[in-house]
Amino acid sequence: MYYGLTRENQLHEMIADVCDLFPGSSWRDTVHLLTETCQQETKLGQYRDPTADGAGRGISQFDLIAVDDTINRTTKHHQAIIDRFGIDLTQIEHNDLDFQPLVGVILMRLKYMLVPDPIPKTMEGRAGYWKVFYNTHLGKGEPREYIAAASDIRYIISDALA
């Protein structure tokens, strides 16, 4: 396990906690999207980016530009919610994500909240959503890779939501 995770279910619990505090699209669709994104990006913390100084950092593989943009666009209302976790985003450095998975999950949720389109209900829809709004046209990832990765964790998501 990498990125500060100490046990398998820890990431699922963090995602559920973050989704509880940040409403928007359906809770279940949001949990699926965040979990599937972490699976695609780091195999739920099982894959460590071998890139020197890692362009993408942490459980959700945020690059520096995305961290700065997301933090700068975080509202006072959302910061008040984040305060419940004891986190001050203005104090976060890019490399902090390497060992603070909760910060990575929060940033991922905030980034997706900036998207005006609702989170799709299907895995295929979420794969396209991830590609356009998270990975972007510049990223190497493809929706088919997301679907393949997400297909490996369906049972974990179902168990976590049971």
- Out of 16-25, 54-63, 121-130, give the one with best mean pLDDT: 121-130
In a domain, 23, yes or no: yes
Is 160's pLDDT higher than 70?
Answer: no
In a domain, 152, yes or no: yes
pLDDT of residue 114: 93
By three-state DSSP, how is residue 156 classified?
Answer: helix
| The pair of three-digit structure tokens given for residue 119, joined into one six-digit string | 């989170």
Its domain, for residue 47, covers: 10-161
In a domain, 76, yes or no: yes
Q: What is the pTM of this model?
A: 0.91
In a domain, 97, yes or no: yes
Is 21's pLDDT higher than 70?
Answer: yes
In a domain, 5, yes or no: no
In a domain, 3, yes or no: no
State pLDDT tens for residues 31-48: 999 999 999 999 999 988
Dihedral, 100, 102, 105, 106 alpha carbons, nearest 10? -110
Q: Which amino acid is at 152?
A: D
Is there a contact between 37 and 61 (Cβ–Cβ < 8 Å)? no
pLDDT of residue 157: 57
Domain count, the chain: 1
In a domain, 52, yes or no: yes
State pLDDT tens for residues 132-153: 999 988 778 899 999 999 998 8
State pLDDT tens for residues 86-104: 999 989 999 999 999 999 9
pLDDT of residue 140: 84
In a domain, 1, yes or no: no
In 3D space, the residue among 61, 11, 8 whose CA is nearest the CA of residue 31 turns out to be: 11
